[in-house]
Amino acid sequence: MPSTFGVVDLFAGPGGLGEGFASFTKNGHVPFQIGISVEKEASAHRTLTLRAFLREYRKRHHALPEQFLKLHAGLATEPDWSSVDTGAWQHAIEEARALELGTEPAVKVVDDAIEKLKKKYD
């Protein structure tokens, strides 16, 4: 069985690096799984969370949400993503964290995420 690696993305910004890891496939296998992405800047964090939601939604439904397509076509306003798919949204808010690195709360959250990843992935 191919290896799978957990990814910790610090200073993630809007998530481009993590998106690159998450979109890589080899022979149908996705070897990189994002465990946690951390960004403190609010607008970048919102984008990071939406990216995590869309990845999880596509994994579950094999398509982008209709609401996302309508939003980008200018046919609708941004929905409450948590109502589009509650489970995918929950996954996204657990993955994409708004934290200031170096603070005690951030240290605990990141350390816990790393321990969880070490148990689950190579």
Q: What pLDDT, on the 0 to 100 scale, is given for residue 1?
A: 55
Sequence-distant (≥ 6) Cβ neighbours of residue 121 within 8 angstroms:
4, 5, 6, 33, 35
Q: What pLDDT, on the 0 to 100 scale, is given for residue 3?
A: 84
Q: What is the pLDDT of residues 5-30, one digit of tens each?
A: 999 999 999 999 999 999 999 999 99
Residue-averaged pLDDT of the chain: 95
pTM for this one? 0.91
Average pLDDT (82-103) is: 97
| Band of residue 57 on the pLDDT scale cut at 50, 70, 90 | very high
3-state helix/strand/coil string of the chain: CCCCEEEEECCCCCCHHHHHHHHCCECCECCEEEEEEECCCHHHHHHHHHHHHHHHHHHHHCCCCHHHHHHHCCCCCCCCHHHHCHHHHHHHHHHEECCCCCCHHHHHHHHHHHHHHHHHCC
Q: What pLDDT, on the 0 to 100 scale, is given for residue 122?
A: 75
Q: Which of 111, 115, 121, 78 is nearest to 10 (CA)?
A: 111
Average pLDDT (47-76) is: 97
Average pLDDT (75-89) is: 97
